[in-house]
Amino acid sequence: MAKKLHIRTYGCQMNVYDSERMAEALAGRGYEQTEDVGEADLVLLNTCHIREKAAEKVYSELGRLRELKAARPGMRIGVAGCVAQAEGEDILTRAPMVDLVLGPQSYHRLPELDRALATGARLVETDFPAEDKFDELPERRKATRGPTAFLTVQEGCDKFCAFCVVPYTRGAEVSRPAERVLAEARALVEAGVCELTLLGQNVNAYHGHPGGLAGLVRALAEIDGLLRIRYTTSHPNDMDDALIAAHGEVDKLMPYLHLPVQSGSDRVLKAMNRKHSAAEYLAVIERLREARPDILLTSDFITGFPGETEAEFEETMSLVRAVGYGAAFSFAYSPRPGTPAADRKGQVPREVSMDRLHRLQALIAEQQRAALEAMVGREVGVLFEKPGRLEGQMAGKSDHLHAVHVQAPASAIGELRRVRITEAGPNSLAGVLV
């Protein structure tokens, strides 16, 4: 009888990819995935540690799992991902119901760890192993897949932004060799995928191809059946000439880019250790728009970074107005233990950070509405992924990553179709097939 595996994923797209690979690693141990946590023999929480609330959600979930495990003594619970890497053995102390703590660089060891769990062991595996986990993982399953997929090409970060835990939880920058990425991409396309999003903590620092990320994108574009390519997340300092040129020259590379800036103040950027100025960031944006005039840009922002003044916050607002974003992720600063900014003087009062956040989000929402409304009357490509909420409706993503709903046959799922946009909603678009 197959054992049941339940994986709950928190945080970024890379964790979504990691969860898929963990399930594949455990398939050889006889595990089948289940959405019903109540029937699971092994529960894995694949965690994010970027913000305090994300970590606390994990402990809240562990509290709920305590009673479930008490009713099912054979259940095993694991905490994987970045919270596991950051907190290690402290998790076993704080949450005694946990059997396994597994860092993001070690999930290829899950089969042997599962054997040890069967003996009643409680395990912490948070070392950065010498072997490449991607070499140790089984080949991707050949099962039919949906039209879109994530593909990790790079991990870790060497930038050491003062607010960020990633260099400590994911380690130094490592790039997968291009031939292995291409082999995995071909297998995904054979399984039904026609859009790939390349993932990395600092994906445009990728160096597994002689031409960098631009070279990898151009090689992927040669794969028959792969219709669309995206990548995330990037650092402004690694937007080189070749990658900017690729945005204008590679048709399969979509006109969408998430390029975090965090602040519009040079002093705050220096305090964050971002190693670029607001003017340098804006120059990159200008070059991108020269290469691809219709590119839609999104970004990340932090309000209330230690020492941020009202005037410096207004510099951020000015930068947002200058760029005109299609969307953005924005957060009030929260200290992450072990990061350089956590113990700095000049911590901004929470109510001030939140007030600035609300003002920033209002401006970004205004720009997002304008970007959506500007699509009305245009023709765009839409890759249909699933049925919509209404009968006869299909839902998909446009070239610019907007959600689009269209009356279309169910057979359209997995197809890239031309759509004329007829209506803009608060967060999505409606259209008709051309």
Predicted local distance difference test score (pLDDT) of residue 12: 80
Predicted local distance difference test score (pLDDT) of residue 283: 98
Predicted local distance difference test score (pLDDT) of residue 106: 86
Mean pLDDT over 368-394 rounds to 96
Please tell me which residue, 286 or 90, carries the higher pLDDT value. 286
Please tell me which residue, 277 or 59, carries the higher pLDDT value. 277
pLDDT at 20 over 80: yes
Task: From residue 237, give the alpha-carbon distance in Å to each of 100, 205, 303, 424.
Answer: 38, 9, 21, 34
Residue with tokens 């305590």: 66
Query: Are residues 133 and 106 in contact, defined by beta-carbon separation less than 8 angstroms?
Result: yes
Where is the binding site for [4Fe-4S] cluster, in residues?
Answer: 12, 48, 82, 157, 161, 164
pLDDT at 138 over 80: no
76-94 pLDDT tens trace: 999 998 888 888 899 999 9
Q: Could you give the domains of the chain?
A: 3-125 (3.40.50.12160), 144-373 (3.80.30.20), 379-433 (2.40.50)
Query: Distance (Å, rounded) from C-alpha 78 to C-alpha 107?
Result: 11
pLDDT at 288 over 90: yes
In this structure, of 18-22, 132-136, 209-213, the range with the lowest mean pLDDT score is: 132-136
Q: Reduce the DSSP state of residue 257 to 3 states and report it.
A: strand
pLDDT at 131 over 70: no
pLDDT at 264 over 90: yes
pLDDT category, 274, cuts 50, 70, 90?
very high
Q: Which amino acid is at 94?
A: R
Mean pLDDT over 308-316 rounds to 98
Predicted local distance difference test score (pLDDT) of residue 336: 85
Percent of the chain with pLDDT over 70: 96
Query: Distance (Å, rounded) from C-alpha 367 to C-alpha 362?
Result: 9
Query: Distance (Å, rounded) from C-alpha 294 to C-alpha 278?
Result: 22
326-368 pLDDT tens trace: 999 999 998 888 899 988 999 999 999 999 999 999 999 999 9
191-203 pLDDT tens trace: 999 999 999 999 9
Predicted local distance difference test score (pLDDT) of residue 142: 61
Please tell me which residue, 279 or 140, carries the higher pLDDT value. 279
Rg of the chain over Cα atoms, rounded to whole angstroms, equals: 22
Please tell me which residue, 343 or 52, carries the higher pLDDT value. 343
pLDDT at 52 over 80: no
Predicted local distance difference test score (pLDDT) of residue 171: 85
Predicted local distance difference test score (pLDDT) of residue 143: 62
Please tell me which residue, 55 or 228, carries the higher pLDDT value. 228
| Mean residue pLDDT across the chain | 93
In this structure, of 4-8, 91-95, 295-299, the range with the lowest mean pLDDT score is: 91-95
pLDDT at 50 over 80: no
pLDDT at 55 over 80: no
Query: Distance (Å, rounded) from C-alpha 310 to C-alpha 420?
Result: 43
Cβ density class 376-405: b for 16+ within 10 Å, e for less:
eeeebbbbbbeebeeeeebbbbbbbbbbbb
404-420 pLDDT tens trace: 999 999 999 999 999 99
pLDDT category, 130, cuts 50, 70, 90?
low
Mean pLDDT over 225-246 rounds to 97
109-118 pLDDT tens trace: 899 999 999 8
Where is the binding site, in residues?
Answer: 12, 48, 82, 157, 161, 164
pLDDT at 316 over 90: yes
Angle of helix 212-220 relative to helix 178-190, nearest 10 degrees? 30
Predicted local distance difference test score (pLDDT) of residue 134: 75
Query: Distance (Å, rounded) from C-alpha 41 to C-alpha 77?
Result: 9
pLDDT category, 108, cuts 50, 70, 90?
confident
